[in-house]
């Protein structure tokens, strides 16, 4: 295996020890991979034990046979966010963020390049540098780079006593999983197993242009989601017909060894824990723990990762996922670029992960920073449009969180009317608008919006989750308004669509051709759509009219 060969060469590089009795000489260049293997030790010495840089260098040379110049250390310490010395620009950025957060009356923690900041140190800095307060009052702002490096958020709640006393075995397993992920990424990039075009995309060097592992993964998650929602609603469905192809598709996903699978692995963990904690979570973990050694070999590093994930009953997969994101996000973004598709996948999944637990304002601040870095690349990828739409959705969520639903609707409709969007994006906006209108008690507008979302999704190659959710919401509203016959009609059609989804999943999992979306397929979809999906019922608002001028109240 490529990764196994790389791992051996990495080990020999890391172990490069100085000859006993001779003064150690720093290398001309130390690779990022070697620095990363020393990062936990340097972090503990420099930040945890508060040693000086000179003491850290002496300890690293004496105990770990690692030698580098002062300049190399300072550069790496700054990049890792371990620098103990505050800069005036950083303090100014924190003061501006604190002013805004204090207005919201929210508890806040600040970070510089990911590392927490002690506000007492900020206070002492201001006493030593009173001129900075004058700059703050005069409206001076920090540099763009500093503004991106200084972040804030709502502190996580303190761990419960049960969590604080978690078994040592789980902690060890968490650290092992993190180390294995780091080794896998280092090995894949350094060996050339993954080829990467900076700020564009990454792929397996051995794969051809026909790699569809990410499309299959989306369909697997869609299958899990549809089953979950049907079970919640009490729908009578054949679960095996939907989940069977999903498990079959996992074989091809694993075999592809795509870089995307690293990002999606974390997504799989928190998603299953959130929605299928008591059923699919353990089933999928055990399945992959047994499958990957068969497909890739028992000594493949992914096999070690999944055996560890399968053998450990983690008490909180969200916390494990957050640890993995803390490792992956900065590392991948630095290696492949902020605008790279792999980086986009990671941030999209991370946003979905934290949105359920954090305030929308915190999520918006995170995505805003990432979006600025991606746009600074000058690239114009389609997925950057997805990022812009996600940002609009977060801005709308912030408005809703403040009780201003009318403004939330305006944010979404403005984005729809001013930005060029794909059919899937337009369907997603209509779906979200329907939810907003429902919460405003504007049932007629909500029904029109859900119909529009379903129509667009069903006549394009949009994700099936959009059309199925729109139809389910439409059915629910019809029942709430005592239109039982119409609701039953929607329910029957939704079950037919679910059966068609399962049938197509079987064909895709077997690699059968002829199921690609094309113009002729979409024409057939248009012709086969039921008439009621196109008609406006009595009291239902015309879609174009309410899109152009969102109602208030």
| Domain locations in the chain as residue ranges | 12-79, 88-153, 171-402, 403-553
> From CA 342, how far away is CA 105, in angstroms rounded?
36
Q: Please give the structure tokens belonging to residue 94.
A: 């924190």
Which tops the pLDDT comparison, 521 or 277? 277
pLDDT band at 234 (very low <50, low <70, confident <90, very high): confident
Q: What is the CATH number of domain 403-553?
A: 1.25.40
Give the chain's mean pLDDT. Answer: 83
Q: Which residues pair with 150 in a beta bridge?
A: 112
Whether residue 97 contacts residue 141, with contact meaning beta carbons closer than 8 Å, is answered with: no
Torsion angle, CA of 216/220/226/232, rounded to 10 degrees? -170
Percent of the chain predicted with pLDDT > 70: 85
Which tokens sit at 63?
């105990």
Contact 424, 457 (CB under 8 A): yes
Query: CA–CA distance from 5 to each of 127, 255, 300, 307 (Å)?
Result: 55, 18, 10, 20
Helix, strand, coil % over all residues of the chain, rounded to 5: 70, 5, 25
Residue 457's closest CA among 503, 526, 391? 526
* Three-class SS state of 51: coil
Give the strand pairing for 115-116 and 109-112.
Answer: antiparallel
If one counts every other C-beta atom within 10 angstroms of the C-beta of residue 341, the result is 23
Q: How confident is the model at residue 519 (pLDDT cuts 50, 70, 90)?
A: very low
Most confident of 76-80, 173-177, 341-345: 341-345
Q: If you average pLDDT over residues 252-264, what whole number do you get?
A: 92
Query: What span, in angstroms and rounded, lies between the C-alpha atoms of 331 and 324?
Result: 11
């Amino acid at each position: 295996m490529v990764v196994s060969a790389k791992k051996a060469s990495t080990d020999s590089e890391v172990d490069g020890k100085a000859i006993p009795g001779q003064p150690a000489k720093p290398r001309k260049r130390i690779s990022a991979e070697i620095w990363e293997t020393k990062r936990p030790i340097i972090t503990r010495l420099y930040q945890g034990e508060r040693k000086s840089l000179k003491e850290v260098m002496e300890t690293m040379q004496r105990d770990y046979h690692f030698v580098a110049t002062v300049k190399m250390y300072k550069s790496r310490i700054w990049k890792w966010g371990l620098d103990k010395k505050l800069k005036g620009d950083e303090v100014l950025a924190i003061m501006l963020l604190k002013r805004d957060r204090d207005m919201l009356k929210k508890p806040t923690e600040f970070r510089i390049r990911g590392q927490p900041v002690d506000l007492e140190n900020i206070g002492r800095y201001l006493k030593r540098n009173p001129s900075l307060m004058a700059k703050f009052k005069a409206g001076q702002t920090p540099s763009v780079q500093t503004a991106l490096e200084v972040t804030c958020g709502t502190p996580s709640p303190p761990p419960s006593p049960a969590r604080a006393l978690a078994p040592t075995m789980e902690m060890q397993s968490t650290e092992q999983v993190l180390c294995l992920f780091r080794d896998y990424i280092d090995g894949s990039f350094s060996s050339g197993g993954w080829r990467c075009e900076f700020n564009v995309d990454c792929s397996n060097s051995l794969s051809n242009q026909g790699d569809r592992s990410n499309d299959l993964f989306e369909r697997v998650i869609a299958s899990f989601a549809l089953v979950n929602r049907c079970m919640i609603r009490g729908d009578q469905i054949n679960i095996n017909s939907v989940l069977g192809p999903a498990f079959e598709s996992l074989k091809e996903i694993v075999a592809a060894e795509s870089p995307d699978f690293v990002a999606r692995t974390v997504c799989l963990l928190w998603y299953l824990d959130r929605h299928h904690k008591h059923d699919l979570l353990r089933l999928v973990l055990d399945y992959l723990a047994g499958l990957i050694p068969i497909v890739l070999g028992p000594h493949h590093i992914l096999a070690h990762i999944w055996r560890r994930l399968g053998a450990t009953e983690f008490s909180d997969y969200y916390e494990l996922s957050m640890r993995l994101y803390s490792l992956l996000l900065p590392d991948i973004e630095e290696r492949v670029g902020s605008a790279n598709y792999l980086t986009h996948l990671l941030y999209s999944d991370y946003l979905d992960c934290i949105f359920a637990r954090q305030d929308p304002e915190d999520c918006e601040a995170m995505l805003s920073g990432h979006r600025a870095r991606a746009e600074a690349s000058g690239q114009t990828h389609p997925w950057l449009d997805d990022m812009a739409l996600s940002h609009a959705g977060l801005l709308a969520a912030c408005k809703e969180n403040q009780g201003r639903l009318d403004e939330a609707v305006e944010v979404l409709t403005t984005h729809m009317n001013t930005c060029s969007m794909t059919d899937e994006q337009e369907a997603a906006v209509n779906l979200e608008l329907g939810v907003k209108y429902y919460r405003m008690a504007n049932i007629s507008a909500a029904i029109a919006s859900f119909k529009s979302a379903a129509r667009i999704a069903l006549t394009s190659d949009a994700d099936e989750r959009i059309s199925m959710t729109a139809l389910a919401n439409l059915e629910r509203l019809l029942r709430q308004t005592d239109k039982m016959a119409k609701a039953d009609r929607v329910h029957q059609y939704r079950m037919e669509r679910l059966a068609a989804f399962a049938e197509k999943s079987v064909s895709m999992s077997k690699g059968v051709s002829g199921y690609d979306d094309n113009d002729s397929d979409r024409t057939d979809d248009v012709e086969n759509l039921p008439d009621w999906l196109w008609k406006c019922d009595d009291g239902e608002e015309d879609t174009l009219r309410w899109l152009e001028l969102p109602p208030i109240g």
